[in-house]
Each structure stands twice: as C-alpha cells, then as structure tokens.
Structure 1
Amino acid sequence: MKKRRMFILIVVILFVSLIIGVSYPIIITNLIVNEEPVLSDVIIVPEGQAYVRAYRASELLHEGYSESEKIIVSPIDKANEQIYLDFDVEETQIIPEMEATSTYENAVNTLEMMEENGFDSAVIVSSDYHMLRTKLIYERTNRDYGYELTYVAAYQLVNGEFVPWNDAGEDLQYVAKREFWNYWGYLLGLYHFFNL
C-alpha cells in the first residue's frame, strides 16, 4: 500500500511538471493580447500599473474610442485619478469604481457598472503582460452579459519609449513571469478563494 501511494505521488508530480513545462512557454509568449481598438460605449481600466494604463486609456479617449466620452477606472484613488487629470481627462469623464482588490473583482464590478449605465460595449485597457489573464476573466464574467469587449494593451515606458514587457528589463520580466502562476490560478478558478 505504501509503495502504491509513493508511485501515485511520483506520477502526479511528473504529470504536473510536464503540464507546467509545456504550458510555461506557451503562456509567457502569449501574455500580450492587443486588439485593434474599436468605437465602444466606454473604456474600462482595471488599475494596477497606473501610469501606462492611464496613458493608453486617455489616448484612446482623446482619439474618440469612447462614445460616452467616459472611462471606468477600477479601483480609483486620489493618486491614480490625478494621473488621468494630468493626461487631460476631466474629472466628469471618470466613472469611479472604488472597491475592487483583484482582476476578478475589476471584471465583476465594471461589467455590473456597464449594465447600470446602459453600456453595451467597452475597450478594456491593461498592462501588456496582464492582458491574457484580464481577457480570460472578463470573458468568463461577460457570459452573464454578452457585451462586445475589445482588449487593448498598454505597453511599458522605458527611456521615453513604449515597449513590450519582455523588452523592458529584468524587474518587469519577473512581474510578467508571475503572471504564469496567476493565469493558472484563474484557469482553475482560484480567484474565488484567493485575492489573485
């Protein structure tokens, strides 16, 4: 009996190692989801890396991609609100969401806000390395609504240029590689139990 348990444990460890080994390069090379922006009712920003996300969202707002001329920022505080104001977004153009503490809560809260505001479509803006997981959870949450969602990546600012995460230096590469584990957590639905 003891040998059988040991055999099962070894098989499980090998299976998990194989899954991780095969999925790691696939997930890491596909972190960036960057679709062409389309005219939508609103722009949604699940906050985190405030500067690049705010920059890209305000750029899209000024280019006319938000028919309502509004951005839902989730969550918003005084510091990240000021960044939007610095990018010439007026306070009245920001629809504040103040309670989200995870990407899952960003999706739940902002899609509910879309319903409350009568919106049917949105451009979702997040950091490039965060987009695969963002799209996964927004698509899952959107099953209850059926909104038209478009996903636009915000690239990293390095020496005055916007570049993909994998060209932005070691610090960001560590953060991006953490996304592998977070993505698996979201695939397995662990966001219901942990704040990922």
Structure 2
Amino acid sequence: MKVKILFILLVALVTYLVWLAKHLDIGQPPQKAEVVIVPGGELVRPLKAAELVKAGYASSNQLMMSPLNEVYEDKPLIDHLTKAGLTRGQILAENEATSTWTNAKNTIAMMEEKGWQSALVVTTDYHTRRTRLAFERASRGKDFVFYYVSAHLKNRQGEEVAYPESPKALRIMASEVYKYIGYLLKLYYWIDQ
C-alpha cells in the first residue's frame, strides 16, 4: 500500500514538473504603467523594455534596469539602450541586485522612493513565472500593480521564438523549473539564484 501511494505521489510530482516546464510563460499584453522594470538577463529583455518605453507604456518615460552594469556583446548595457533610442536620463540604474529576488526588492524600493504604484516588468518568456512570484512576495502588503511582459529569445535566423521552440529548450526548462521550485520554497533567502 505504501509503495502504491509513493508511486502515485511520484507520478503526480512528475506530471506537475512537466506541466510547469511547459507553462513558465505567463506574460501579459503590455499595459500603461508608471515605469518599465527589467530584471537583468538576456539582452532581449532591456531591448523589449526600451521598445515599450518608446511606445509610451511608461507614464514616467523611464526604464529601471536591475542591474544596469552588465555587458553584452563587449558593450555596456547603457550603450545598447541608447542605441535603441533611449536617453541616459530615461534609464534608472539599480546595480546591487544579484538575483531575481534582489531585483524585485531593490526596484520596489526605488518605486517607493519615486512614489510610483505601477510597473511593467519585462523579462524573458521562460522567466515570467518566477519573476512574478518574486515581485508579488517582495511587494506583499504594499499597494503595487505589476504587469509581466514576455521578451523572446531569437533563433539563428534572428526570429523571436518561444522558449519551448528554442534549441536550448530542455536546458532552459530544467534550469528554470529547478529555480522556480527554489523560489516556492523561499530558498532565495539563502541561495542567490
């Protein structure tokens, strides 16, 4: 009987993990907000965020990058953002974050300082579920509204593709499911991921 129960639990767990791997993207259509926030990661994130700022989705006309001190393709991120059409005055830097959790905590503190209550949070499609969890927990008890917008990786032809169609799909899904479970268990207090 115990073996049967363990088997059922194992099947349920595996089923949940497979479902989770296929449903990491919970991005929404962009909505007007006061600021656009980008947790660090692939270059597609800040470039998508710059598009949204330029399209008028941020009433402050500003993008908050956490962290801004990253380098892509041998150029500082600020150079990519200005090439994408933003001015340095439109870009707010948060350079202390080392994980999605600290991105959320630090950018929410900056929002409080500015008096902002709403933000578009732009991240890669596979990263939206964990990002949402981090921002919801970091803002618990506060009156904030967040919208989560998915940026997509590009294939070899330069076309945007959803993470399940990416050549790195299995690695991406396994890594993100592992990290998401860590976030569910609040391991971000002890492990920087």
> TM-score normalised to the size of structure 1?
0.88
CA-CA distance at 1:23 after TM superposition: 1.5
1:24 and 2:17 aligned: yes
| Percent of residue pairs identical | 32
Aligned to 2:159: 161
Bigger radius of gyration, 1 or 2?
1
Q: Which has the higher helix share?
A: 1
Q: How far is the alpha carbon of 1:195 from its aligned partner?
A: 0.6
CA distance in 2, matches of 1:26, 1:172: 14
User: Which runs of structure 1 show a deviation greater than 3 angstroms over 4 or more consecutive aligned residues?
Assistant: 10-20
Cα distance in 1, alignment partners of residues 4 and 40 from structure 2: 41
Partner in structure 2 of residue 117 of structure 1: 114
Residue 81 of structure 1 corresponds to: 78
SS of corresponding position for 1:144:
coil
Quote how far apart the aligned CAs of 1:84 are: 1.0
Instruction: Tell me the alpha carbon deviations over residues 91-134 of structure 1, each in whole angstroms, 9 at most, x when there is no partner.
Output: 11011000000000000000010000111100000011111100
The 2-side partners of 1:22 and 1:140 are apart by 26
174-183 or 39-48, which deviates more:
174-183
Deviation at 1:192, TM superposition (A): 0.6
The CA RMSD measured in Å over matched residues stands at: 2.0
**Using the alignment, how far apart are the partners of 1:146 and 1:98 within structure 2?**
24
Give the SS at the match of 2:173. helix
* Counterpart for residue 142 of structure 1: 139
How far does residue 16 in structure 1 lie from its aligned partner after superposition? 6.8
For the residues of structure 1 that align with 2:113 and 2:82, how far apart are their CA atoms? 24
User: TM-score, normalised on structure 2?
Assistant: 0.89
For structure 1, which runs of at least 5 residues remain unmatched after alignment? 1-7
Out of 38, 56, 72, the position equivalent to 1:64 is 56
Residue among 162, 176, 181 paired with 2:173: 176
Question: For the residues of structure 1 that align with 2:67 and 2:112, how far apart are their CA atoms?
Answer: 18
Q: 2:41 matched to which residue of 1?
A: 48
Of 95-104 and 83-92, more deviation after overlay is shown by 83-92
**Structure 2 SS opposite 1:38:** coil
Q: Name the residue aligned to 2:73.
A: none
Separation in 2, partners of 1:172, 1:55: 22
Match of 2:59, SS?
coil
> Quick check: 1:92 aligned with 2:84?
no
- Specify the alignment match of 1:189 in structure 2: 186
2:28 aligns with one of 35, 47, 64: 35
Find the counterpart in structure 2 of residue 3 from structure 1.
Answer: none
SS at match of 1:37: coil
The number of equivalent residue pairs is 187
